[in-house]
Amino acid sequence: MATLGMAAIQIAGSKSGNLERVEKEIASAAKRFPWVSMVVIGELAIHGPSLDFCETEGGDTETRLCDLARHLNIWLIPGSLYVKRGDKIYNSTPVIGPDGVVVARYDKMFPFLPYEAGVTPGERPVTFDVPGAGRFGVMICYDIWFPEVTRTLAAMGAEVILAPTMTNTIDRDVELSIARANAAINQAIMVDVNVGGEQGYGRSVFYGPGGDLIHECGAGPEVVALELDFEQVRRTRSRGWHGLGQTLKSFRDMPAAYPFHGDPEPRRQALSELGPLEVPSRSGAGDAGAKPTNGKRFRVVD
């Protein structure tokens, strides 16, 4: 049976400066669950969402994480880091093997624009293989909203899709539905690890290849240890979920092309009237010119 033990850690950290906490949590999970061979944490959990903590790729933080993975003999997907290459900044996830070597890097293809300003979109989907288990795909947070990313990873053979996430907004509930749909549509295990504490709303979620809920976390700190069953994924893809839809086979065999995917220009023209991608301005009752109806002055309290 092809299985792999994983610990997904929902860190409830501070806004930044969580490296030592993350290291302790990872080491603790590896000690508590010695059968675990992979640890995953949420997006930007270590240094937070500020570009002020951007490091050169392969810098001090990555070096410490590689040393930790080698010491614990685990696969480590440490959320993501803001890294600089040349004059560009990427939201990037290093995939660190048990020997402490970075075997792959994934750059977030859909930064959360217009809010994640200054981050360059990645251009390449990434998968990696764990010998004796199966193939993993990597995406980051907002990528999950774009089915092209998940479908591409599945078409590249990914059986488990890892999605480190940092969500602290009301759309987290929607993301749970999206994660479930992506699992069922692509007949893959979805591992969507959010952050908690000062960084996010938690509710990390894990779905099987039929969209079946494995576990949903609460808002606080949590360690989820589970066995990923690759044979279940392969059986579902071969026979269908409970003998029903064999979606990846139909996707493989359907002869039509998708011109909007092959060339970006048709979709740019079709959607040109949407206007620029920018932060929405105030409108209606929230307009900056609106006055309190009782005539009182208000003071913002920190």
Q: What is the pLDDT of residues 78-114, one digit of tens each?
A: 999 999 999 999 999 999 999 999 999 999 999 999 9
Question: Is it true that the peptide bond before 114 is cis, omega within 30 degrees of 0?
Answer: yes
Give the domain 3-261 fold: Nitrilase/N-carbamoyl-D-aminoacid amidohydrolase (3.60.110)
| Residues whose CB is less than 8 angstroms from the CB of residue 7 and which lie 6 or more positions away in sequence, other chains included | 29, 30, 33, 36, 38, 39, 40, 223, 224, 225
List CB contacts of 191: < 8 A, sequence separation 6 or more: 6, 8, 40, 160, 161, 162, 163, 206
pLDDT of residue 137: 98
The pLDDT of residue 83 is 98
The backbone torsions φ and ψ at residue 121, rounded to the nearest 5 degrees and listed phi first, read -65, 140
pLDDT the model gives residue 266: 85
pLDDT at 19 over 50: yes
Q: Given a cut of 60, is residue 178 above it in pLDDT? A: yes
- Amino acid 287: pLDDT: 56
264 pLDDT band (50/70/90 cuts)?
confident
What mean pLDDT do residues 20-28 have?
98
- Tell me the average pLDDT across 256-280: 87
Say how far apart CA 1 and CA 211 lie, in whole Å: 21
List b or e across 55-75, with b for residues whose CB sees 16 or more CB atoms inside 10 angstroms. eebeeebbebbbebbbebebb
- Which pLDDT band, with edges at 50, 70 and 90, does 1 fall under? confident
Beta bridge partners of 98: none
Mean pLDDT within 252-262: 84
- The amino acid sitting at 88 is K
Pairing, β 189-193 against β 160-164: parallel
